[in-house]
Structure 1
Amino acid sequence: MVVAFLIASMAYILVSIYLGWALATDRPIHKWGTLSVLLIGMLAHAILLYPYIVTLYGLNFNLFNTLSLISLFFLLFYGLFCLYRPIVSLGILAAPTALIGVTIGYFGRAPYQPLTNVSMGLEAHIILSLAAYCVLLMAAVQALFLRLQIRELKQSTIHRFWVNKLPSLQSMEALLFDMIMVGFVLLSIALGLGLIYVQDLMAQHIAHKTVFSVLSWLLFGVLLVGNWRAGWRGKQAANITIYAFILLAVGFVGSKFVLELLL
């Protein structure tokens, strides 16, 4: 396990340093080399995380394991989006995030009752929920970057850090809605499976999580319809994305923090 942690950490650190150097010096970024090193780190990350989650006593989705898994999903989706969008420079955020996640998962410990006798439907609900949360987290971060770019363009200054260092505004906006669409579909399926396989919301202390998740899902749905029918974009789309994700985060991370660490 130590070897897997060191390999994953080293891969993420090397990519972070390389991308930071390339952006600081305006050098071209070698896309496939960057993604290849990240793939090595992701494989080591997955090997490290698997026995922490899949235990002899059941699935262990405690707070630290969950954060580590989310960071791995974060990097996975970043790589997939890189395949067809010119966004490799955004790895300057994805790689350090994965480094933080794998470190938290390796060193963090929280009391947790493993999930036993879990049906395949419930397992799918959990995994899809985490994947949806990850993609929508990426969308929220993307929305923040989009707002920074829009603000710099409106100020008409010659020092445009975010405009110069990040992909074009058009690419960033297109990527934002790609992320929202993928996250919305994953969250829709996860909520549907939850309604089928979760038996007692109150007894499992997830009623409030469900309420916040549904509110977030509705807000993301409104944004997608607004973009399709009324052309919502730019700062308006970024703001709605951030608000919708805050609702999801309050229900998801907030409940796990209270139940596992405070109570």
Structure 2
Amino acid sequence: MVSFASMHSPSPTLTWLLALSAACAYAVPALRIGETAARWALAVAWALHAGSLAWGLLGTAPHFGFATALSVTAWLMLTVYGVEQQLYPRLRTRALLGLLGAAAVVLAALFPGLPLQVNSSVWLPLHLALGIASYGLFTAAVVHAALMNHAEKRIRLAADDDSGIPLLALERLTFRFVGAGFWLLTATLLAGWLFGEALYGRAWRWDHKTIFSLLSWITFATLLVGRARFGWRGRHAVHMLYAGALLLLLSYAGSRFVMEVLLERFT
């Protein structure tokens, strides 16, 4: 058992330097300080955030936990935004992403998580990468779904759509992210089921993480089948997406938060 106090042992100076520098850079777009300044600040924040993650995961004492998972997810979302910005220059999500990025990078510095075991399976990083990549894609889907809802409300009010992406394009992007995230989540669950003993030293077991992961998988599968077969769209589809994303958040990040913070111990 690792005590709460030891989990909060002081982080290396470089970890906090990178985290606070990234948070300050993220604050520029969050505070809406000029278009050009916000764009450059977000690029600097993305690079600093990447450096912070690399130091925490590849440094002399690598750790991983719920906060690291959320931090990687936020960084992946910023990466998606960087690509989309080239296709849709008027995309307006910088303020929201700045807030999410700042919160995630500081949270990861505060809660570094569990030390990674040097004798763990060489396939464990791939398994974690698949799971976190699915987190990132579903987060991108949720952000796009929120933009889609906002755009639909403005259209009903006969106001200009200020999302920066046409409504139909937003819908297509949302469900492409859902589809890609679903297949990555499927691969993650299959790997855990088939190779759980090699990855974690124990076979598949029915714990909270597994149950929430399967519930999220069922929710996303139902959403994709309903959309393909029955044409589900609009609020009903978006609400199902939100429900699946919440269940997925509760699976790994939620269960680890309870173990690492609320129960002040690791399994």
Shorter-chain TM-score range: 0.7 to 0.9
1:146 is aligned to 148
> C-alpha distance in 1, partners of 2:204/2:228?
37
- What is the Cα deviation at residue 132 of structure 1? 0.8
Change (3 A) 1:147 1:8: same
Q: Which amino acid aligns with 2:136?
A: C
**Unaligned ranges ≥5, structure 2:** 1-13
2:123 is aligned to 121
Change (3 A) 1:86 1:178: farther
Q: TM-score, normalised by structure 2?
A: 0.78
Which one of 127, 136, 139 corresponds to residue 137 of structure 1? Answer: 139
- What is the Cα deviation at residue 262 of structure 1? 1.9
- What is the Cα deviation at residue 203 of structure 1? 8.0
> C-alpha distance in 1, partners of 2:150/2:45?
30
SS in 2 for 1:164: coil
- What is the Cα deviation at residue 228 of structure 1? 2.4
1:42 is aligned to 46
Q: Is the 8 A contact 2:226 2:232 kept in 1?
A: yes
Q: Is the 8 A contact 1:110 1:261 kept in 2?
A: no
- For the pair 1:223 / 2:223, whether they are aligned, the reply is yes
Change (3 A) 1:130 1:12: same
- What is the Cα deviation at residue 7 of structure 1? 4.0
Q: Which amino acid aligns with 1:122?
A: L
Select between 145-154 and 123-132 the one with higher mean Cα deviation. Answer: 145-154
> C-alpha distance in 2, partners of 1:87/1:239?
26
> C-alpha distance in 2, partners of 1:257/1:184?
23
Change (3 A) 1:259 1:203: farther
Q: Is the 8 A contact 1:53 1:61 kept in 2?
A: yes
Q: Is the 8 A contact 2:68 2:113 kept in 1?
A: no
1:182 is aligned to 180
Q: Is the 8 A contact 2:195 2:203 kept in 1?
A: no
> C-alpha distance in 1, partners of 2:251/2:71?
18
Change (3 A) 1:116 1:197: farther
| 1:25-72 Cα distance to aligned partner (Å, 9 max, x none) | xxxx66xx8665433322211212223233545x41123323222221
Q: Is the 8 A contact 1:217 1:244 kept in 2?
A: yes
Q: Is the 8 A contact 1:86 1:171 kept in 2?
A: no
> C-alpha distance in 1, partners of 2:80/2:201?
30
Select between 197-206 and 81-90 the one with higher mean Cα deviation. Answer: 197-206
**Unaligned ranges ≥5, structure 1:** 23-28
Q: Is the 8 A contact 1:135 1:179 kept in 2?
A: yes
2:97 is aligned to 94
- What is the Cα deviation at residue 170 of structure 1? 1.6
- What is the Cα deviation at residue 111 of structure 1? 6.2
Aligned length: 247
Q: Which amino acid aligns with 1:251?
A: S
- What is the Cα deviation at residue 139 of structure 1? 1.7
> C-alpha distance in 1, partners of 2:136/2:254?
15
Change (3 A) 1:209 1:166: same
> C-alpha distance in 2, partners of 1:88/1:148?
13
Q: Which amino acid aligns with 1:100?
A: A
Select between 37-46 and 174-183 the one with higher mean Cα deviation. Answer: 37-46
Which one of 16, 40, 52 corresponds to residue 30 of structure 2? Answer: 16
Change (3 A) 1:82 1:118: farther
Q: Is the 8 A contact 2:21 2:45 kept in 1?
A: yes
Change (3 A) 1:234 1:55: same
